[in-house]
Amino acid sequence: MDSIDKKLLVMIQDKFPISQRPYMEIGEKLSISENEVIERIKVMKESGLIRRMGGVFDSRKLGYKSTLCAMEVSEEKLPEVIEIVNSYIGVTHNYIRRHEYNLWFTLITPSKEHLDKVVNEITEKTGIKVNNLPAERLFKIKVNFHIPGEGEKENA
């Protein structure tokens, strides 16, 4: 990742142009060609740095319900439980964290009923309680990151 890549990442994380020739617009700002912008993005996608390029949607605005769930899973049951949890399309993030509640996942579903159904299903299939922690209040969601080594902190 050179300095142009870093600048490019900052630009395409937040303000990707919505116009007929977006890659050309970006190229003009970075003084590189449209083709070079496309090539650089392609390389960063292949290396896994960029997971996806597209729209990041607000689940609540689309009528979906989301929550965070925590489970306390023993070491030997972990592989099985992870497989069950990850099999749901609405489970978008799943992490092991160092705590008694060691499995933490986010769940997004089209309705509250659907959400409760998935939570109950996971409990039934695993035999382990799923602690459902829907947000009582949402203070902030920001999904772009500060690129280490590129400028100071990003704009909030």
Partner 1 sequence: MLSELDKKIVREVQGDLPLDPRPYKVIAQRLGIEEDFLIDKINEFLEKGYIRRMGAALRHRKIGLKANPMIVWQVPKDKIDEVGTKLSSLSQVTHCYHRKELPKLNYNVYSMIHAETREDCYELAKEMSKMIGIEKYNLLFSEKELKKTSMKYFMED
Is the Cβ of residue 112 or residue 133 nearer to partner 1 in the bound state? 133
Q: Which is nearer to partner 1, 31 or 155 (CB)?
A: 155
Nearest to 65 by CA among 136, 113, 23: 113
Q: Which backbone phi and psi does 22 adopt, to 5 degrees? A: -60, -40
**β pairing state of 65-71 and 103-109:** antiparallel
Q: How far is the CB of 73 from partner 1 (least distance, A)?
A: 11
Closer residue to partner 1 in complex, CB, 12/122: 12
Looking up tokens 């650089």 gives 40
Of the pair 79, 120, the CB lying nearest partner 1 is at 79
Nearest residue to 69 via CA among 134, 138, 147:
134
The closest of 137, 136, 153, 134 to 145, measured between CA atoms, is 153
For residue 78, what are its two tokens?
């972990």
Find the shortest distance in angstroms from Cβ 54 to partner 1: 5
The CA distance from 38 to 145, in Å, is 21
Nearer Cβ to partner 1 (24/30):
24
Least gap, CB of 29 to partner 1 (angstroms): 14
CB of 127 to partner 1, least distance (A): 18
Residues composing the chain: 156
- For the bound state, the minimum distance from the C-beta of residue 87 to partner 1, rounded and expressed in Å, comes to 10
